[in-house]
């Protein structure tokens, strides 16, 4: 599958349902298609694919120039065999795929750990709206929960759910508090949210 930014409009268990939704989109969109998750076997129908993340974000913000008002989210698909180089604001960043692992927890876990486990589960399923809501709940419980990983996932959840204002809030928090730990992906998306919220001078 070609690397790029796919704007997902629906996820279906049955291929026939995905095909019906794709056919429905063809009257409004030039190039809809279907991606299949290799492990979960779910069919994700995308409205359009973009080479640049900024273009995908802009399309979502404009709701495809008013042609599509339902909820969408962005799937960033990278080529595992190549290094993707993204140029933004005069700087070049190399994006690499990352493997995220989680340590085993004690049976007696605090509430925040249980919430985080649920949020991480939703995030891994690409249910970004639900994940973002739970991450926000955890973060609202106090500064002690404001770790780099939780902030990063909260920002990413909002970004892929196209809530640019809230994504900017948490990417900006990352930049101010964990700047040295920010990945190329974080910086790239932070630049997009700066532009998406009209803060061009800082991007």
In a domain, 105, yes or no: no
- CA nearest neighbour of 45 among 65, 19, 71: 19
- Give the end of a domain, one of 54, 77, 100: 77
- The domain of 172 spans 111-202
In a domain, 185, yes or no: yes
In a domain, 137, yes or no: yes
Mark whether 59 and 124 lie in a shared domain.
no
**Is residue 136 exposed (0-12), middle (13-18) or buried (19+ Cβ within 10 Å)?**
middle
- Give the end of a domain, one of 33, 61, 77: 77
Specify the pLDDT at position 112: 65
Mark whether 60 and 126 lie in a shared domain.
no
How many domains does the chain fold into? Answer: 2
Mark whether 57 and 15 lie in a shared domain.
yes
Query: Taking 50 as the threshold, does the pLDDT of residue 97 lie above it?
Result: no
Whichever domain contains 163, its CATH number is: 1.25.40.10
Mark whether 115 and 59 lie in a shared domain.
no
Whichever domain contains 72, its CATH number is: 3.30.70.1070
Mark whether 152 and 196 lie in a shared domain.
yes
Question: pLDDT per residue over 137-162, tens digit each?
Answer: 999 988 888 999 999 999 999 999 98
Q: What string of DSSP letters covers 111-125?
A: HHHHHHHHHHHHHHT
- Assessment of whether the complete model's pTM goes beyond 0.85: no
Provide the sign of the torsion angle of the four alpha carbons 177, 181, 186, 191, taken in this order.
positive
In a domain, 150, yes or no: yes
Q: Average model confidence (pLDDT) for the chain? A: 77
In a domain, 136, yes or no: yes
- CA nearest neighbour of 72 among 52, 51, 47: 47
């Amino acid at each position: 599958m070609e690397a790029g930014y796919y704007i997902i409009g629906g996820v279906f268990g049955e291929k026939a349902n995905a095909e019906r939704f794709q056919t429905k989109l063809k009257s409004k969109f030039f190039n809809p298609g279907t991606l299949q998750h290799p492990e979960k076997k779910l069919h994700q129908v995308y409205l359009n694919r973009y080479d640049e993340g900024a273009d995908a974000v802009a399309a979502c913000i404009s709701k495809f120039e008013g042609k599509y008002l339902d909820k969408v989210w962005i799937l960033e698909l990278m080529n595992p065999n190549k290094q993707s180089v993204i140029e933004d604001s005069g700087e070049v960043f190399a994006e690499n795929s990352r493997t995220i692992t989680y340590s085993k927890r004690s049976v007696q876990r605090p509430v925040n750990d249980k919430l985080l486990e649920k949020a991480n589960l939703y995030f891994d399923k690409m249910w970004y709206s639900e994940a973002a809501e739970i991450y926000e709940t955890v973060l609202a419980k106090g500064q002690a929960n404001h770790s780099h990983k939780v902030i990063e996932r909260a920002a990413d959840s909002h970004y892929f759910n196209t809530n640019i204002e809230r994504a900017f809030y948490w990417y900006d928090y990352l930049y101010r508090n964990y700047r040295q730990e920010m990945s190329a992906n974080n910086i790239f998306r932070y630049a997009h949210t700066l532009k998406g919220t009209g803060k061009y001078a800082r991007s």
